Copies of this chain bind each other. A is one copy, B any other.
Amino acid sequence: MRNTARWAATLGLTATAVCGPLTGSALAGQDAAPASLYAPSALVLTLAHGDTATMTTPVRAVTLSCSPTASGTHPDAMSACVELRGVGGDFDALRARDGVLCTKQYDPVIVTVDGVWQGKRVSYERTFSNECVKGSYGTSLFAF
């Protein structure tokens, strides 16, 4: 009898130890997502033809997330994240590569970036005089 009681007590304590934390977290709130170790980074990049974003319809839009791992519908999320980290999230710091020759044809394309980069809100817009000029900036971030 004493052994049975001891076993029952042990089982009870084990059940509390195992299930307690689960119940606790389930009751902690409707927000089940744990606080992230990383400042959030989640971006949407769009491409449109025209002068200003508000006057144009985006022809392409991709998502890019860089933490904890590179992901998104961006065709080369890994390189895009490396490039973005390289300029500290400052899109204006992306410079044109040397040796790229483009015509002066004016057929403007607009790239917009919205969302969050390392916890800071981003709302960026940049107009390039044509696709070739856009392609000359950076290597992969704007190549979507």
**Chain A residues with a Cβ under 8 A of chain B:** 29-31, 33, 35-36, 40-46, 53-54, 57-65, 71-73, 75, 114-116, 119-121, 123, 131-132, 135, 143-144
Contacts and interface: CB of A to CB of B under 8 A. Distances in A.
A42 B71 contact: no
A63 B72 CA distance: 8
B63 A40 contact: no
Nearest to A45: B42
Q: How many copies does the complex hold?
A: 2
Interface of A is mostly: mixed
Contacts of A71: 63, 73
Given A40-B46, A116-B44, A131 B31 contact: yes
Given A31-B135, A71-B73, A135-B31, A44 B43 contact: yes
A36 B60 contact: yes
Contact of A58 (B40, B65, B131, B132): B40
30 contacts: A29-B131, A30-B131, A33-B60, A35-B59, A40-B58, A40-B59, A40-B61, A40-B62, A42-B46, A42-B63, A42-B73, A44-B44, A44-B116, A46-B121, A53-B121, A57-B120, A58-B116, A58-B121, A61-B115, A61-B116, A62-B65, A63-B63, A63-B65, A65-B72, A65-B73, A71-B73, A72-B72, A114-B114, A114-B123, A115-B115
